[in-house]
Amino acid sequence: MKVVVAMSGGVDSSVAAALMVEEGHEVVGVTLKQWEDVDGNLPTAGCCTVGDAEDARRVSAQLDIPYYVLDYVDEFRAAVVEPFGMSYLAGRTPNPCVECNRTVRFNALLERTADLGADMLATGHYARIGQDGDGYHLRKGVDPGKDQSYVLHMLTQAQLAQIQLPVGELTKPAVREHAARLGLRTAGKPDSQEICFVGDGNYRDFLADHFPETARPGPIVDMAGAVVGTHPGTAGFTIGQRRGLGVALQEPKYVVDIDSETSTIVIGDRHDLLAAGCVVDDVSFVSGRLPAGGAVEVKVRYRSRPVPARLSPDGDQWLVVFDDPQPAVAPGQAAVFYRGDEVLGGGTIERSIQ
């Protein structure tokens, strides 16, 4: 089988490529050039740098596989970066990794995989794909601390049929050990934490640089409507945020609402953050069918635990009602539905329900 491996220059995709080679496949390594500095070159700091591409290139040479850099700058800007800015501008909290997976990685790159005569696309995501009589199933990665199934919830049966996620069966330490055993230069490379195109910088600085229209100062008000401070622009604030509010108060306060129309940030106590549920838009189900029964577990943030909830259709949208009220349900983030390890599907949070 011929497999294209998307290599970021990190240890996970390096090992994904190595595992595909070990399984005896004909492997081609690619790095997506997604973002460039104003000079047209890859950034030199942060993630997705020249150094990262160079690491991917060197690992490919070590694995004796061909390696190419593919230019997705235009697609990435249109499908990920612009909506990222627009979403913040609308007072929402976008998840650019979800949009990248939806539009660039598992759409444009998957098409390219076929153009290159390959059968499969492999990535270094921590999630697992299984197959039985019902079709393909997407499950959490073996390492609970690293599971990335959340950002893959939009995958369809047709896509899953062409995707390999080889490191999903491993824990992070096992991935690093495997890389070390092969002597891959990326074995000890630190994990990237940032949004790739924001790099090392603060994402508010990024927004100010690239979306200057987000710099619209306004008031910070408490639950009673009293002005307690000001802010430089609602973009960069997210529901549930506690730090960096720029107001000195007696007890911890959280962002509970963002009104982009009036450029107002509302802060409140922890209990003010609680939502009974949320309305979810653009929902897709991995199986392609509606799940039987409404009982699911829902993850409303990449780093939150799935919580029990009931799912029901509501016109074009879906209604999620948590068994217990949940804090910090931010419009723009993905709501992903699970049953145990299995990803049922998900969508984008349109609004929370009090």
Partner 1 sequence: MLYLDHAATTPMRPEAWAAMERVRGTYGNPSGVHEISRAAKNELENAREGAAGLLGAGRPSEIVFTAGGSEADNLAVIGTALAGGRPAHVVISAVEHKAVLESARFVERMGGRVSIVPVDSSGAVDPAQVGAAVEDDTALVSIMLANNETGALQPVEEIVAAVDAANPATLVHTDAVQAFISESVDVGIFGVDLLSLAAHKFGGPKGVGLLYVRDGVRLEPVVHGGSQEMGRRAGTQNPMGAAGMVAAMEATIADRPSFHRRVAAARDAFEQQLAAAIPDLRVNGPADRLVQHSHLGFPGQSSETLLIRFDQAGLAAAAGSACQSGAVEVSHVLAAMGMSERHAAESVRFSFGWTSQPEDADLAAKIVIEEQRS
Active site residues: 100, 196
Q: Residue 41, interface with partner 1 (CB under 8 A)?
A: yes
Binding mask 258-297 for partner 1 (x = CB under 8 A): ----------------------------------------
Q: How many CA atoms, within 13 angstroms, populate the side-chain half-sphere of residue 64?
A: 6
Q: Which stretch binds partner 1 (CB under 8 A): 39-47, 157-165, 227-235, 345-353?
A: 39-47
User: How many residues belong to the site for partner 1 (CB under 8 A)?
Assistant: 18
Q: Which of 116, 182, 208, 307 is the binder for partner 1 (CB under 8 A)?
A: 116
Q: Which stretch binds partner 1 (CB under 8 A): 110-118, 158-166, 235-243, 337-345?
A: 110-118
> By C-alpha distance, which of 173, 171, 159, 174 is closest to 129?
159
Binding mask 132-171 for partner 1 (x = CB under 8 A): ----------------------------------------
Enclosing H/E stretch for 160? helix 157-160
Q: Which of 3, 11, 53, 280 is the binder for partner 1 (CB under 8 A)?
A: 53
Q: At 220, is the secondary structure helix, strand, or coil?
A: strand
State which residue, 28 or 47, has the beta carbon closest to partner 1.
28
CA distance 344 to 336: 8
Q: Which stretch binds partner 1 (CB under 8 A): 111-119, 145-153, 218-226, 334-342?
A: 111-119
Q: Which of 22, 46, 57, 319 is the binder for partner 1 (CB under 8 A)?
A: 57
Both structure tokens of 91:
């007072």
Q: Residue 202, interface with partner 1 (CB under 8 A)?
A: no
Q: Residue 77, interface with partner 1 (CB under 8 A)?
A: no
Q: Residue 108, interface with partner 1 (CB under 8 A)?
A: no
Minimum Å distance from CB 31 to partner 1?
A: 7
Q: How many CA atoms, within 13 angstroms, populate the side-chain half-sphere of residue 261?
A: 1
CA distance 100 to 35: 12
Pairing, β 67-71 against β 163-164:
unpaired
Contacts of 186 (CB under 8 A, 6+ apart): 9, 10, 11, 14, 55, 59, 179
Q: Which of 64, 115, 261, 324 is the binder for partner 1 (CB under 8 A)?
A: 115
Token match 């959490």: residue? 140
State which residue, 42 or 275, has the beta carbon closest to partner 1.
42
Q: Which of 40, 145, 225, 315 is the binder for partner 1 (CB under 8 A)?
A: 40
Minimum Å distance from CB 333 to partner 1?
A: 31
Q: Residue 68, interface with partner 1 (CB under 8 A)?
A: yes
Contact in structure between 336 and 346 (CB atoms under 8 Å): yes
CA distance 314 to 251: 38
Minimum Å distance from CB 40 to partner 1?
A: 7
Q: Which of 22, 46, 70, 284 is the binder for partner 1 (CB under 8 A)?
A: 70
Enclosing H/E stretch for 52? helix 50-63
Q: Residue 320, interface with partner 1 (CB under 8 A)?
A: no
Token match 């896509």: residue? 159
> By C-alpha distance, which of 317, 320, 318, 349 is closest to 332?
349
CA distance 11 to 117: 26
Q: At 226, is the secondary structure helix, strand, or coil?
A: coil
Binding site for partner 1 (CB under 8 A): 28, 31, 33, 40-42, 50, 53, 57, 66, 68-71, 112, 115-117
